[in-house]
């Protein structure tokens, strides 16, 4: 696995959703949202971004951002966010089972620590590809850093 420095990412016109769920259910929730986004008269315009906001024993709080075409109306479940940007991130691609995503994240965090970078934000996860049984995911893991060189 290759870690790539100096990465930037941006997304605009986002559907924003926060939920407490079991960590292993994040891809099921994202699939459900993507399968039903048409109910809001929206269609996706990019890859889904998600992050873990805090951990609990059984459930964790996830933030999910979906770039969309169309006007996002704030409602009880969803909010509009105009943009999302990371400008000095390190990137590591995860390929495989969702259950192993923590290992990839840990490797990236170790890289950040060993290079004496300061973590600014993240990790954020960009869903590049998934299959129906969650065993063949491609997820880019980003951590926004300050390079202390």
Looking only at the bridges linking them, the beta strands covering 137-146 and 118-129 are antiparallel
Model confidence over 92-139: pLDDT tens digits? 999 998 888 889 999 999 999 999 999 988 799 999 987 666 678 899
Q: Residue 74, Cβ neighbours under 10 Å: how many?
A: 9
Q: Quote the CATH superfamily of domain 3-146.
A: Regulatory factor, effector binding domain (3.20.80.10)
Domain range annotation of the chain: 3-146
Mean pLDDT of all residues in the chain? 89
| Model confidence band, residue 74 (pLDDT cutoffs 50, 70, 90) | confident
d(CA 34, CA 60): 21
């Amino acid at each position: 696995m290759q870690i790539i420095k100096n990465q930037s990412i941006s997304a605009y016109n986002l559907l924003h959703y926060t939920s407490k769920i079991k960590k292993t259910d994040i891809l099921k929730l994202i699939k459900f949202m993507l399968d039903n986004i048409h109910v809001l008269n929206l269609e996706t315009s990019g890859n889904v971004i998600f992050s873990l906001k805090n951990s609990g024993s059984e459930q964790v709080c996830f933030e999910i951002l979906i770039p969309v075409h169309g006007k996002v109306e704030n409602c009880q479940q969803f909010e509009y966010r105009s943009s999302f940007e990371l400008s000095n991130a390190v990137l590591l691609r995860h390929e495989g089972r969702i259950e192993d995503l923590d290992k990839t994240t840990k490797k990236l965090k170790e890289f950040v620590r060993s290079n004496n970078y300061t973590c600014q934000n993240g990790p954020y996860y960009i869903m590049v590809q998934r299959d129906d049984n969650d065993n063949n995911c491609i997820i880019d893991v980003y951590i926004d850093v300050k390079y202390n060189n």
